[in-house]
């Protein structure tokens, strides 16, 4: 008599992740989401704010990523997203540009959603 002793093993779902290049066209539009709450510098003044990447005070956000060619449409959405930034620089127009990665737990990721 032949018996099988197979064990099915599920691997954990990976983090949902979207990477993009962004241009921030103004002062302090996404700093709290990327770097966390800022600190007045010097502490007795409100003329400057210092941000420190990696603080736990970053605001989590939600995004909707929509791809639409006029005929077909696909949506992805995620909540409780952490934004990680890299290679930030100022362009010639004075805008902050950089690479960002939006990361969310698998349970906070929704999609794909297709247009009927």
Residue boundaries of the structural domains of the chain:
16-30+57-114
Q: d(Cα 62, Cα 15) in Å, to the nearest integer?
A: 15
Give residue 61's pLDDT.
83
Q: How far is CA 1 from the centre of its chain?
A: 55
**pTM for the whole thing?**
0.63
pLDDT digits (tens, 9 = 90+) for 18-72: 888 888 766 666 666 666 667 777 667 677 777 766 666 677 888 888 999 989 9
Q: d(Cα 116, Cα 66) in Å, to the nearest integer?
A: 15
| Mean of all residue pLDDT scores within the chain | 79
pLDDT digits (tens, 9 = 90+) for 80-94: 988 887 787 887 777
The answer on pLDDT for 100 being more than 80 is yes
Higher pLDDT, 107 or 58: 107
Side-chain half-sphere exposure of 45, counting CA atoms within 13 A: 6
Residue 115 CB partners (closer than 8 Å, separation 6+): 68, 72, 73, 74
């Amino acid at each position: 008599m032949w018996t099988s002793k197979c064990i099915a093993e599920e691997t954990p779902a990976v983090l949902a992740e979207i990477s993009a290049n962004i241009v921030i066209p103004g002062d302090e539009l996404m700093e709290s989401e990327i770097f966390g709450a800022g600190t007045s510098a010097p502490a007795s003044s409100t003329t400057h704010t210092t941000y420190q990447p990696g603080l736990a005070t970053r605001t989590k956000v939600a995004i909707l990523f929509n791809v639409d060619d006029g005929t077909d449409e696909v949506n992805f959405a995620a909540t409780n997203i952490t934004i990680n930034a890299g290679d930030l620089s100022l362009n010639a127009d004075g805008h902050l540009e950089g690479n960002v990665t939006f990361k969310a737990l698998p349970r906070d990721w929704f999609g794909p959603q297709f247009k009927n």
